[in-house]
Structure 1
Amino acid sequence: MTSILSATSSLRIGGLASGIDTDSIIKELMKAQRIPLDRLNQDKQILQWQQEDYRAIYDSLRAFRDKVFNMKLQATYMAKTATSSNEAAVSATAGSSAVPGMYTVTVTQLAQGVSKGSQDTLPDEANADGSTMSLKQQFGLGYDTLAFTLEGANGIKKFSFDTNTANIYTVVSEINAANLGITASYDATLNRFFLTTTSTGAAAKIIVTNDSNNFLSNNAGDGNNTLKLLLKGDGTAYTGQDAVFNFGDATGLKSATNTVTINGITLTLKQGGGASTTITVSNDTDAVFNAIKDFVDAYNEIIDKINGKLTEPRYRDYLPLTDEQREQLSDEQEKQWEEKARSGLLRGDSLLESVVSRMRATMSAVVPGLTGGQGYKTLAQIGITTLSYEERGKLYIDEAKLKDALQKDPDGVMNLFTKSAENYAEKGIAMRLYDDINSAMALISARAGTSSSYSTADNSAIGRQIAAMNERISTLEERLQQMEDRYWRQFTAMEQAIQQMNAQSAWLAQQLGMGQAR
């Protein structure tokens, strides 16, 4: 019996001598002892949830900051639109630097590249089984080595091919890999070969030399070569041409492409031969209106998100579930419980309250020092206002009033948002709000860190709290393990004592029985 107990005690199988359910007793004893550990883990979970909520707001602020940055740029308010009286000849778009007005454009010639294609069908490159023939097989060549030199706008290269192993696709691949400014292709349906410059303009070119086998070219350039291309092999340059056009009284302008930007206007030339059009450039108030509207919508979204966290109900009776509690619930019950446990963790948070208050103050602020025009100094003057105080800063747009402001004084609207100053209180609305958001992000980062941080150490306030709590949890877990081991040692000692007593009792009974037998 002694050997059995000593062997089984390390496996924690109790009650062999006493019949007591030792395991259940110790589990109940430890359950009470684990209450402080469960509480620590719950507190840690709450901190982790708070950190996640802070970081979600940080990410939202960062996305909103990008929109605010665009509202800081004067280019956002200087959007222009361009229309062409003859879209078939020239189309146009206007950049922010374009000057409103009417411009006459006349196109003498369009920019072109160089394209050379087989003048007749070439022998089929495919065998009956679908495999590709060699150059010698396809074209019936009587030589083993094919060589020629090809020059484009980007450089020159000598090519050499073994006609017994190379095929037409090998030629295409080698030319394209050389990056000469020339693209080769082979159309297997038409059985024709093409060489085309990758760019347009006078600098684009195709030049063939050293083509002793007349593969690409021949002396006359009449297509009497293997690939039936109209190319001379004596170094003749086949070049593209520049576009030539007039812009107002600026005549004879040239461009290597048919898309050209001049005076802030991007022109797409479509028709040459003296085709003419009138380009009209004007302020694009619709684009500016939409930019401001998108900005206000994004502001309302971030304000609503933060206010939602500040007013979210807190259910203090719903603590994070322990492992034991989680086992007793279904997945749906666990989800519902966690939703309540996570709710309201940032309710009334002073940091977020300060963020919202500062943003609201900025959106209702007066921008000093703005003169001229309509004298817009507040958002309310251009139709952007709040309504009810209970809506906690939500903005509304009077669209007619905003459009009227953009028509009457677009520069005044721009200055209201973009005025630059050393002093925060003298900055424009967007400039000031950008500073507000950067400040808010810095505060949240210091409190909870960021999910995009590349550092392995979280030095935020909550991060340090969690780290300290992890140490406490580790210490307590070690202490509880020692306590559980002590309980088992005590119960094992009791089992061993009971075993000895049982053995002694059995021996006495045996002795008494023997005495009576005499």
Structure 2
Amino acid sequence: MTSILSTTSSLRIGGLASGIDTDSIIKELMKAQRIPLDRLNQDKQILLWQQEDYRAIYDSLRAFRDKVFNMKLQATYQARKASSSNEAAVSASANSNAVPGMYTLTVKQLATGVSKGSQAALPEETEGGLTKTLKAQFNLSYDNLTFTLEGANGKKDFSFNTNTANIYTVAAEINAANLGITASYDATLNRFFLTTTSTGTAAKIKVTNDVHYFLSGDKDANGGVGDPALESGNNTLKLLLKGDGTAYTGQDAEFDFGDATGLKSATNTITINGITLTLKQGGGASATITVFNDTDAVFNAIKDFVSAYNEIIDKINGKLTEPRYRDYLPLTDEQREQLSDEQEKKWEEKARSGLLRGDSLLESVVSRIRATMSAIVPGLAARYDTLADVGITTLSYEERGKLYIDEAKLKEALQKDPDGVMNLFTRSSENYAEKGIAMRLYDDVNSAMALISARAGTSSSYSTADNSAIGRQIAAMNERISTLEERLQQMEDRYWRQFTAMEQAIQQMNAQSAWLAQQLGMGQGR
């Protein structure tokens, strides 16, 4: 007799013979066995959350390090401003290399490029909503159009089929050649334009091999070349261009800067000794350029730095003092099924709170950074050797290192002795204890990042293996979880085999009982 159970045991349908809810019994048996696995997964999740918290602080420190780096640079404290007495003629700005003082400037001529446009309206380029071909628009008698165009970047031979190409095709191909010449067609004005992309004597437009005088003009009755007003249709685009190889070039700017006369530039924007000048008017226009220290820029840089410092300190202190709710462990899959999304979210917030509370590594990071911000920088000639001297101080111990700025005192220090303030931050030395505040703090932040990376790794790491301390813990835990899951699967399979054997035995007994009853019934019938 074939057992019904044997044909369905692979599907794990229990209780067919006994009526017992085998599945529920085995689930309850396994629930107790899975408690160690659930605990392992919870411990792993706590480690993953700790790793995320560490890495978030690492990323914040990296962003803060960029701010500190700027404060290491002397250029940050040497910000300059420039003003012009005649903005209509020239505007000015200055970088940190500019020397404060007053300078005279006279602009003899501006730098220009070359621009050639149709001297009269061209025939309409569209008809019935469609763009005409070159032949249709200009009533050309030839099929092939060729010419050579040369600009500052080189030259190119162009060829167009007048039966298929149109005026926009011509403009597009000239632009694609990257000759230093821009071509365009204004459909509103019905005019074609060629313009150099740069200024100065190197900028040029030169036309040759224009046998059909498409861009250029032929000689007129007066011996001139390229004047459409004197031509009778021999310059298709009506541009004032000669086709005999004449190069139309721009001009350089010419100016005097103090005693340096006869200076030239291919552009109207020039930088001289850290002063950037934008020339706007030629013809001998003059201006006085004044360069002075930009104390507002330096003040704002220091203010932004202090703000960034307070943010990073607040973030780390927040993790160090965050409350820990030890009764809220990470949820198991079974527990998640019993909670709503909102309940799950609130539970998780409690579960991952305070995982770095009192963390010794972060405590050491904060302590070192705070010590640096209150340290004395020895060996400075100026009166400023601490941040407090320039108005940057803490107020109360309970605020755990937060800094405040006495803005009036800081501005006064920047005005009286800008170099002294600069040296307070940027003093360089082989000896850590003799470095400026920013130089020392940069080292501190790098050390902190290295410690956190060793503990938890970084989210930006390109390595597939996480060799951090927490990474190794998680890897070891994954192996334990895998081993335990395999053991639990074997245990569950064993339970199913045992219950299956019981079901088979009961089924066999039921079959025998039914046979006996059948035999007894047959005997009574006789």
Q: State the TM-score, normalized to the length of structure 2.
A: 0.96
Aligned to 2:14: 14
Which of residues 440, 452, 458 in structure 1 aligns to 2:466?
Answer: 458
The one-character-per-residue Cα deviations of 1:70-105 (angstroms, maximum 9, x if unpaired) are 000000000011111111111100110111111111
Deviation by residue 1:121-165 (Cα, 9 ceiling, x = unmatched): 00111121x221111111001111111111111112221111111
Q: How does 1:468-483 map to 2 (within 5 A)?
A: 468-483=476-491
Match for residue 177 of structure 2?
Answer: 178
SS of residue paired to 1:303? helix
**1:113 matched to which residue of 2?**
113
- 1:202-244 C-alpha deviation (Å, 9 max, x unpaired): 1111111111111111131213410000111111121111111
The one-letter amino acid of 1:98's match is A
State the partner residue of 2:282.
Answer: 272
Aligned to 1:145: 144
Among candidates 260, 265, 269, match of residue 250 of structure 1: 260
Q: Secondary structure at the match of 2:287?
A: strand
- CA deviation vs aligned residue, 1:392-431 (integer Å, no higher than 9, x gap): 1100000000000000100000000011111111111001
Structure 1 CA distance for aligned equivalents of residues 427 and 409 of structure 2 = 21
Give deviations 1:265-299, integer Å, cap 9, x for gaps. 00011011111111111100000000000000000
5+ residue gaps, structure 1, are none
For 2:105 and 2:297, how far apart are their aligned partners in 1?
26
What count of residue pairs does the alignment treat as equivalent?
515
Give the drift of 1:458: 1.0
**Structure 1 residue 238 corresponds to structure 2 residue 215:** no
Displaced runs of 4+ in structure 1, greater than 6 A?
none
CA distance in structure 1 between the aligned counterparts of 2:56 and 2:462, rounded to whole angstroms: 17
8 Å contact from structure 1 (residues 2, 496) kept in 2? no
Following superposition of structure 1 onto structure 2, how do residues 298-309 of structure 1 map, counting pairs within 5 Å? 298-309=308-319
Q: Write the letter of the residue equivalent to 1:213.
A: H
1:409-488 to 2 correspondences below 5 Å: 409-488=417-496
> What code does the residue aligned with 1:44 have?
K
> Aligned partners of 1:221 and 1:513: how far apart in 2?
129
- CA–CA distance in 1 between the matches of 2:403 and 2:69? 19
Deviation at 1:517, TM superposition (A): 4.8
Judge conservation of contact 2:15–2:22 (CA < 8 Å) in 1.
Answer: yes
Q: Separation in 2 of the partners of 1:59 and 1:82?
A: 38
Percent of pairs with identical residues: 88
Give the 5 Å matches for 1:81-120: 81-120=81-120
Segments of 5+ residues of structure 2 without an aligned counterpart are 220-224
- Root-mean-square deviation (CA), in Å? 1.1
Residue 79 of structure 1 aligns with an amino acid whose one-letter code is A
User: Mapping of 1:52-451 within 5 angstroms?
Assistant: 52-128=52-128, 130-218=129-217, 219=219, 220-223=225-228, 224=231, 225-371=235-381, 374-451=382-459
Cα contact 2:329–2:351 (8 A) shared by 1: yes
| TM-score relative to the length of structure 1 | 0.98
> Quick check: 1:122–1:191 contact (8 Å CA) kept in 2?
yes
**Contact 2:146-2:210 within 8 A present in 1 as well:** yes
